[in-house]
Amino acid sequence: MDSSETISVEIVVFNGFDELDALGPYEVLENAADAGANLDVELVTLGGTTSATGNHDLTIASQGALSDHADVLLVPGGGWNDRAVAGAWAEVQSGDLPEAVRMAYERGAIVASVCTGGMIFEAAGLLDGKRATTHQGAIEDLRESGAEAVDARVVDEGDVVTAGGVTAGIDLGFWLVERLFGADLAIEIATEMEFDRSDDVVEA
């Protein structure tokens, strides 16, 4: 991916998503853009609904509809472990979001998940035979899916990147900055945000 061209990152939110799963990496990536990285970061919804309400009752206004041209598609989790009526479990039952993720992957986007967003990737058929991680409460579900479950903050398999539970989304954001724009920028942003990055990253 050519970092001299603007890289489009879409973070898809849906009813029942975990707020920090989405907003943690969003802030990291927006800070990278503010520091000069060629990034366009948007919180989007499937089908262009105007908002989504997270599992802690925070309502987020959508900045647009999930497109067919994002370079990076990031998917949060939430609502999987308790099989909530809204959240990752419900999105898998519906099938629409897993299908959208699969289509993004097939057209060449990097797809990245936080927490139980990884189970949406599993439903999309993207984790078979790949190393991946998710929230510890769903690790057995991940293992049973055919993925090689790894206990790590971030697992990068190239075109599919997964992160562990909730706060690991911040580490994912920094890892994407490092991967796309270099370690120096990631260090600069982490220093500004006063965040102690984890080095618990498994690469392909």
What is the pLDDT at residue 45?
Answer: 98
Tokens 């058929």 sit on residue: 125
Query: What pLDDT, in 10s, does the model give residues 140-154?
Result: 999 999 899 999 999
pLDDT at 38 over 80: yes
Dihedral Cα 146, 119, 161, 145, nearest 10 deg: 0
- Spatial contact of 164 and 136, defined as CB atoms under 8 Å apart: yes
The total number of residues shown for the chain amounts to 204
Query: Max alpha carbon distance in the chain (Å)?
Result: 43
- Spatial contact of 7 and 1, defined as CB atoms under 8 Å apart: yes
Give the integer Cα–Cα distance in Å for 51 and 186: 30
What is the pLDDT at residue 204?
Answer: 83
Phi, psi dihedral angles at 21 (to 5 degrees): -55, -40
What is the pLDDT at residue 22?
Answer: 98
Q: Which of 103, 111, 193 is nearest to 155 (CA)?
A: 111
pLDDT at 73 over 70: yes
Give the integer Cα–Cα distance in Å for 104 and 111: 7
What is the pLDDT at residue 96?
Answer: 98
pTM of the model: 0.96
Q: How confident is the model at residue 48 (pLDDT cuts 50, 70, 90)?
A: confident
What is the pLDDT at residue 61?
Answer: 97
Give the integer Cα–Cα distance in Å for 196 and 83: 32
Query: What pLDDT, in 10s, does the model give residues 168-203?
Result: 999 999 999 999 999 999 999 999 999 999 999 999
What is the pLDDT at residue 63?
Answer: 96
Phi, psi dihedral angles at 143 (to 5 degrees): -60, -40
3-class DSSP state of 133: coil
Integer distance in angstroms from the first to the last C-alpha of the chain?
17
Crossing angle of helices 183-193 and 168-181, in 10° steps, is 140
What is the pLDDT at residue 4?
Answer: 77
Query: What pLDDT, in 10s, does the model give residues 95-129?
Result: 999 999 999 999 999 999 999 999 999 999 999 99
Q: How confident is the model at residue 2 (pLDDT cuts 50, 70, 90)?
A: low
Quote helix, strand, coil % in the chain, to nearest 5.
40, 20, 40
Residue 115, number of CB atoms within 10 A of its CB: 33
